[in-house]
Amino acid sequence: MKALFLREQQQLSLEDTPDPTLQDGGDVIVRVTASSICGSDVHFWKGHLPSIPDFILGHEFVGEIIEVGSQVRSFQKGDRVAVPANPFCGTCVNCQAGRVNNCLTVKGMFGAGLMMGNLPGAQAHYVRVPHADACLAKIPPSVDDKAALLVGDVLSTGLFAIENGSPRPGDNIAVFGAGPVGLCAVACARLFSPAKIFLVDIEDYRLEVGAQLGATHLLNPERVNVVKEIKAATLGVGVNLTVDAVGLPSILKDCITCTAPGGTVSVVGMGTASLEFPMMKFMLKNLTLRGGLVPLVNMKRLLTLIEEKRLDVTPLITHTIKLEQIIEGYHMFADKKDNCIKVMVVP
C-alpha cells in the first residue's frame, strides 16, 4: 500500500509499505476511504511536537472494515466506520470512568510515532485498529464519508469545548479561533440554542464559514476591539461561556475578560506549552476553567445528529485531493493557500 511517512529531518515521504495485518483478536483492518490533514500532523512535520521519525502520519479518518479479528463481536466485514484519533480499550479503570483519552491499555494516537503508542497512521490505504468493539462507531447508510470524516477528532473536540460550559438555552457563547476546532465548536453550540454566538478570528474567510455554521456575530480583532464589542452586545455583562480554541496568552486573557461573572472558560487550543494566567481577574469573577484533551465517547451521538440533519460541518472541508497529492495538501493546509480550512484525502 501507499502511506505518508515522516522521515528524518522532518521530510514527508509517500512510499510503498506492507499492508497492516491483524495482531490481536480484537483488531480490525480498515480500508481508508477518506482521511484528513490535522494541525497536529503539521506540528509533527514542522517539529513543533516532539517525535521520533519514521512513522506513518494521520489520525482523522473513516473507512470500511475489510478484515475482522476472531474476538470482534460488534462489527463485520463491509461495515463503514468512524475511527477515534485515540483508540481505547473500553475496560480499564479510566475507560470505565469515561476518561478514554487516558486509556491505560492503548496509550497513544494514530500517526504519532513511538512517543505516542506507535500506531501507524491513516494517511495510507489501510490501517489496523485495535479494540474495535470498544472504540469504533458505525456510519449510518445515509451519511457519506465527507459528513462523517471529522467525528473522530475535531468535531468531538468542538462538542467537548461547548459541553465544558453546560450551556442553557438563551446563553451567550464566544469562540476565539475559527480554525477547524473553533468552527466545530460553533456548529455544536447551536445544538444548545444560545441567544448569541460570537466568533473571533483574523481571517475573514474563516469567519464567513463560521456564519454558515451558526455564528451570529463575526469579530475580526484587526478591525474591532473584540472585548468592547462583546461587552456592548451583552449589556456589559459578558458571555456565559468562552471557548479558547487557540491557546495563546493574549487569547486566554481576552476570554477571561469577556466571560460573565460565574461563567466558564473552556480551553481546547494548544498553542503554547505554558500560559501566563490572570489569576486575580479569574478569582474576582468566580469563573470556572475547564479544558484538556477530548474523551472520544460521543462519536455515535454525533453521527446520529448528522444523520438527522441536526449537524453539518462539511463547509469546513474546502479541498479534496488524492493520496498521491498529499504532500501538496500539507503545504496547502499549513500555508492556508486558496482559503484552505480542511483537506479531505481520498485513495
pLDDT digits (tens, 9 = 90+) for 160-197: 999 999 999 999 999 999 999 999 999 999 999 999 99
Do the beta carbons of residue 3 and residue 14 sit within 8 Å? yes
Residues of the chain with CATH 3.40.50.720: 157-291
Instruction: Give me the mean pLDDT over the 285-303 stretch.
Output: 96
pLDDT digits (tens, 9 = 90+) for 68-100: 999 999 999 999 999 999 999 999 999 999 999
Compare 276 and 111 and report the one with higher pLDDT.
Answer: 111
Residues of the chain with CATH 3.90.180.10: 2-153+295-346
pLDDT the model gives residue 271: 79
The position carrying cell 494521520 is 58
pLDDT the model gives residue 273: 77
270, pLDDT greater than 90 = no
Which one-letter amino acid corresponds to residue 137? A
Give, in order, the Cα–Cα distances in Å from 67 to each of 14, 22, 76, 83, 285. Answer: 24, 8, 8, 15, 55
The position carrying cell 452586545 is 233
Instruction: Give me the mean pLDDT over the 266-292 stretch.
Output: 91
- Percentage of residues in the chain having pLDDT higher than 90: 97
The b/e string for 307-334 (b: 16+ C-beta within 10 A; e otherwise) is: beeebebbbbbbbebebebbeebbebbb
pLDDT the model gives residue 275: 79
pLDDT digits (tens, 9 = 90+) for 199-229: 999 999 999 999 999 999 999 999 999 999 9
pLDDT the model gives residue 272: 78
Which one-letter amino acid corresponds to residue 196? K
- Percentage of residues in the chain having pLDDT higher than 70: 100
Collect contacts of 305-308 with beta carbons under 8 A, ≥24 apart: 305/191, 306/140, 306/143, 306/147, 306/148, 306/151, 307/140, 307/142, 307/143
Q: Give the CATH number of domain 157-291.
A: 3.40.50.720
Do the beta carbons of residue 68 and residue 127 sit within 8 Å? no
Q: Give the CATH number of domain 2-153+295-346.
A: 3.90.180.10
Instruction: Give me the mean pLDDT over the 240-255 stretch.
Output: 96
Backbone phi, psi, residue 232, to 5°: -65, -35
CA distance 66 to 43: 31
Between the two ends of the chain, the Cα-to-Cα distance in Å is 10
